[in-house]
Amino acid sequence: MKTVHSASYEILREQGLTTIFGNPGSNELPFLKGFPEDFRYILGLHEGAVVGMADGFALATGKPTFVNLHAAAGTGNGMGALTNAWYSHSPLVITAGQQVRSMVGVEAMLANVDAAQLPKPLVKWSHEPASAQDVPRTLSQAIHMASLAPRGPVYVSIPYDDWACAAPAGVEHLSRRQVSNAGQPSTAQLQALAERISAARHPVLVLGPDVDSSGSNALAVQLAEKLRMPAWVAPSASRCPFPTRHRCFRGVLPAAIAGISRCLAEHDLILVVGAPVFRYHQYAPGDYLPADCELVHLTCDPGEAARAPMGDALVCDIALTLQALVDVLPQRERPLPSALPLPTPAREEDGLLSPETVFDLINQLAPRDAIYVKESTSTVSAFWQRVAMSEPGSYFFPAAGGLGFGLPAAVGVQLATPGRRVVAIIGDGSANYGITALWTAAQYGIPVVFIILKNGTYGALRWFANVLEVSDAPGLDVPGLDFCAIAQGYGVHAQHAATGTAFAAAFSAALAGNRPVLIEVPTLTIEP
């Protein structure tokens, strides 16, 4: 007899979801019974780290990734990480074990009451099958929902007595289903868009994370070069969609209304591709657009298109649309923009390394195709100025700003891309939110280089406290942390590097090896 259990694993296998990230509880054990040899289970010690690792894996592969959480409590533990997955369009297929059906109504221990409502609004779709026979179809729907544009996490609650039930007739059709996107603009839409761009005297390109996730980085470069226009990265950048040493590159826009208008003031057309318009953060009111300027928005997300406060939007496939624009737009006859000047060496103070010095050394020593997973929010600007990134998929940052992304995501990204080295640059405040991912890195031999920038404070929060004139707020400092001792306790080799020479030696050795390494670096506190 084919069971719900065997039919579900067949669907997962045929759809390529053979890596499972989880932290099991009693409700999940029947699903894990007879775990197939061609699957691998990646254990995390906390559900926040589990979701973070799966998020990194999904972002790096671009494919749906399976997560198994424990009932309501495990789902709650993973919700912080889920905020980042939601805003980064990460295609996570999240399942949670539910109490047996006959015990849910009486709210027995580990019953997930009103389970489908729990993860909202941080998922595209959430469901608990009405019967055991509908579990395989629900899993199939979840996989395709997560994969269709705009990609995003989905959630399925499954009573644990469902797995042993007989599978329904016709279940074999589910594993073979393929569902695809088709989102190229019509000929008329493309012509109107091209005419509008061509008519602009001084257009500017603003690129977002979906350019990188769709593998369209080279097309963005071709478009910028063809139109001789500067290229900015959209504010609150979670990925790097454009080479940072290219002559057209201008940096990352500030996450403030007035700041964006000020940076783009000289342009008459802003072409935003693959980003929301815009992800603001600091409250700095002003005009949404510079005077006499228009905005055109190309996005894969209807929600982003609908909620934007200005401009005209076209919901489309990013890669297909960029390729069509590159093919149809005429070459502009004017020089390329001048390259940004390289930053000058940083000055050291009080015997501590500056983050800028650390980034300069990383830039010198890391492989050209290194992948950076970044969660040191107070050093974002310095990082973008000093570290060259030229390859697609080279940068990941928490899309919602939720701490706890960096350490686990780095493990997931490295697991997904064994041919490239992952360098995780994490603040000492951020590191504690996902610290248990070090155990997973050690147990599975995942060779991430973890660099902890240790300044003893929540640097970005301290900057905000000064901006908001609340510098006397408690809880801004985190003294007394020994990350070398913590890492060694989890089984990760660790070194303390207090000088540039010591850091260069430790970093070079870590890159030359094939095991996870943590390097703790005492640094100055700088402004974001």
Query: Of 401, 412, 429, 434, which is the active-site residue?
Result: 401
Which residues are paired to 203 by β-bridges? 269
Query: Of 6, 76, 259, 281, which is the active-site residue?
Result: 281
| Predicted local confidence at residue 469, as pLDDT | 67
Q: What is the largest CA-CA distance in the chain?
A: 73
Q: Is 70 a catalytic residue?
A: yes
Amino acid symbol at 331: Q
Asked if residue 337 has a cis previous peptide bond (ω within 30° of 0), the answer is no
Q: Is 127 a catalytic residue?
A: no
DSSP letter assigned to residue 27: G
| Predicted local confidence at residue 313, as pLDDT | 95
Domain with CATH 3.40.50.1220 in the chain: 187-328
User: By the 8 A CB rule, do 110 and 25 touch?
Assistant: yes
Q: Which residue has the tokens 């890669």?
A: 319
Query: Of 8, 44, 46, 47, which is the active-site residue?
Result: 47
Per DSSP (E only), the strands in 339-421 are: 371-375, 395-396
pTM (2 d.p.): 0.95
Third-level CATH fold of 355-522:
Rossmann fold (3.40.50)
Q: Token pair for residue 187?
A: 């000929």
Query: Of 16, 26, 107, 527, which is the active-site residue?
Result: 26
Question: Could you give the CA distance from residue 511 to residue 79 in angstroms, rounded to a whole number?
Answer: 33
Query: Of 10, 46, 48, 70, which is the active-site residue?
Result: 70
In sequence order, which residues have a C-beta less than 8 Å from that of residue 469 and are 6 or more positions away? none
Q: Write the DSSP string, 168-189.
A: PTTTHHHHT-------PPPHHH
Distance from CA of residue 36 to its chain's centroid? 29
| Predicted local confidence at residue 186, as pLDDT | 92
Q: Write the DSSP string, 202-214.
A: SEEEEE-HHHHHT
Which residues are paired to 499 by β-bridges? none
Question: Could you give the CA distance from residue 519 to residue 503 in angstroms, rounded to a whole number?
Answer: 8
| Predicted local confidence at residue 468, as pLDDT | 64
Q: Is 47 a catalytic residue?
A: yes
Question: Could you give the CA distance from residue 144 to residue 14 in angstroms, rounded to a whole number?
Answer: 13
Distance from CA of residue 512 to its chain's centroid? 27
Domain with CATH 3.40.50.970 in the chain: 4-175, 355-522
Dihedral angle computed from the Cα positions of residues 51, 525, 506 and 344, in that order, rounded to the nearest 10 degrees: 120
Q: Is 5 a catalytic residue?
A: no
Q: Is 180 a catalytic residue?
A: no
Q: Which CATH number fits domain 187-328: 3.90.1300.10, 3.30.200.20, 3.40.50.1220, 3.40.50.2300?
A: 3.40.50.1220
Q: Which CATH architecture does the domain made up of 4-175 adopt? A: 3-Layer(aba) Sandwich (3.40)
Q: Is 489 a catalytic residue?
A: no
To the nearest 10 degrees (0 to 180), the angle between helices 500-512 and 355-365 is: 40
Question: Could you give the CA distance from residue 66 to residue 22 in angstroms, rounded to a whole number?
Answer: 9
Q: Which residue has the tokens 């992304």?
A: 405
Round the CA-based radius of gyration of the chain to a whole number and report it.
Answer: 24
| Predicted local confidence at residue 263, as pLDDT | 95
Q: Is 202 a catalytic residue?
A: no
Mean pLDDT by 10 residues, the chain (528 residues): 95 97 95 97 97 98 97 95 97 96 91 94 97 96 96 97 94 88 89 96 97 98 97 97 97 94 95 95 86 95 94 96 96 90 79 92 97 94 96 96 93 98 95 96 98 80 63 72 97 97 97 98 85
Burial class from Cβ neighbours inside 10 Å (0-12, 13-18, 19+) for residue 56 reads buried
